[in-house]
Structure 1
Amino acid sequence: MSSLPLRIATRQSALALWQAGHVAQRLRQAHSGLVVELVPMTTRGDQVLDRPLAEIGGKGLFLKELEVALLEQRADLAVHSLKDVPAELEPGFALIAVLARADSADALVSNTHATLAALPRHARVG
């Protein structure tokens, strides 16, 4: 196997770093000896916090800097939250893999109960 690392471009947010780290771990499990390196970066979407996304460019604001890193060969692939990816990608880019979805039943949002334990006995959620 090549000694050059596989470089994964990712946003610097905690969620993005976790997602990219998870992909790196899965790649290492599938390819023994593979060296994977995260390339964290800040995007325009991370920087402009005082205006709605639709007003400043939409979902693509979280991708542009990562796409530039790919074009400039500073990264070999990028990991994104699918919610941040526009329906149509820029020419030359492709969505090549999507991991299986994790259990989506991991959150409770309530304006009356602070914890699961605070729910009434036999409460139904969902």
Structure 2
Amino acid sequence: MEQRDSVRAIQNRSGGRVNFLSDVWETIAKLHTLGGDRHDGLALAEQMEGVIDELLPSEWKVGATVTDSTGQCSRVRRILAPCFANIAFTRCFAHDVNHLVKAILNSAFKNISKEAAGVEKFLNASTSK
């Protein structure tokens, strides 16, 4: 009951506005938390639609949903956006930055850092320190 009162207080302070973040598709034990045994866009969309349908009549105003940038999540956004025109369906900025950094680190920068490490190793091994 205490948790419910706490959530109700947050709901009152925020005017009932909430953003729906969905990122944890499976547990550490690799059990799917959304979509059951299926991990495709349609299964995830059905689960997310159920959550949104449950939130809307309970005085919560869903402003946005945020998912990662996988193909399944892209499909979820394409399926649900026409059904909920007042909700923004967006990609997670942090995931996009992570993908960008990985791409940079796996590009020419990777070769430069390898060469720099080789130079450092050579200099440290030289007899004229």
Q: Which has the larger radius of gyration?
A: 2
TM-score, normalised via structure 1 length: 0.40
TM-score, normalised via structure 2 length: 0.39
Higher helix fraction: Structure 1 or Structure 2? 2
